[in-house]
Structure 1
């Protein structure tokens, strides 16, 4: 079992990074091999929507996204982690997600299908200052969770909870060390990672 965590925060020791590390520790406890990629250290260009990948299966942009593709292709579980920026994910992680268009094929009727042959698990981690009871923040990530499920699992219905990527939100972040000082959240994150690493 291989798990890759893709960190979309600019803070290597901030709340998002700490949350991701704890999730990966939970996965490692189940025997998984884990890898972390920080998008802050990489150069990933915007998807140009040239559709070359639809004809060749390869992206024409020669940048650090190739490393991310390789890690994704070799992994069984992909975890995307980001702070909540303006009700969405951080820009550097959004660039990575946009480039996951490589894994889509488009039917003659315009429907999207995944090109990933063996389904992979995918999950989304979010840290935010907003409190947990602000449910509209959670709902804001539902479309993305549906798209991620389509890419890695092959099914799309963002209305159905079982057909969207699992989500862990760490709320009420009051400083860069909030996660590491919250034992209950650390335990929840550890269990989240352990569940993702379980077979089946």
Structure 2
């Protein structure tokens, strides 16, 4: 079992990175081989919706996303981690998510499908200053969770929780070491990782 963590924060020791590390430690404790890549260290250009990938099955852009495609192909679980920036994912992670467009297609009947043959698990980790009670902050990630479930699991339903990738939210983060000081959250992240590979 191979687990790929994609860090969307530019802070390698910050809350998002710490949360992701604990999730991957939980996965590793269950026998998984884990890898982390940091989006801010990579050059991934924006998707321009040129649709070349729909004809060739490959993205035409020659940048670091090509290596990410290879890592995804060799992984069983992909964990995306990002701070909540203005109600969405970070600008470092966004082009990577957009370039996953490669994997989506539309059937003759007009339904959304994935071209990934061997289904993979995916999960989303979010850190934010806002408290967990602010449900609209969490709901802002619902469309992304549905799309990622389509890409990696082949099922899409923008309404029902059961057809969305798992979400772990670290809320009320008041400083860069908030996750590291929260033993309950660390345990939750560790268990979250174990469950992804269990």
In the alignment, what sits opposite 2:135? 135
Q: Which runs of 5+ in 2 are unaligned?
A: none
Q: Deviations over 1:137-190 (max 9, x none)?
A: 111100100000000000001211110010000000010000000000000000
In the alignment, what sits opposite 2:175? 175
Tell me how large the CA RMSD over aligned residues is.
0.8
Answer whether contact 2:3 2:32 (CA < 8 A) is retained: yes
Structure 1 outlier segments of 4+, above 6 Å? none
CA distance in 1, matches of 2:109, 2:78: 29
CA distance in 1, matches of 2:176, 2:197: 27
1:123 aligns with 2:123: yes
- Name the TM-score, length of structure 2 as normaliser: 0.98
Aligned pairs for 1:56-75 (under 5 A) are: 56-75=56-75
- Name the TM-score, length of structure 1 as normaliser: 0.97
Paired residue total: 198
Q: Deviations over 1:5-39 (max 9, x none)?
A: 00000101000000000000000000000000100
Q: Which runs of 5+ in 1 are unaligned?
A: none
Secondary structure of 2:180's aligned partner: helix
CA distance in 2, matches of 1:66, 1:18: 26
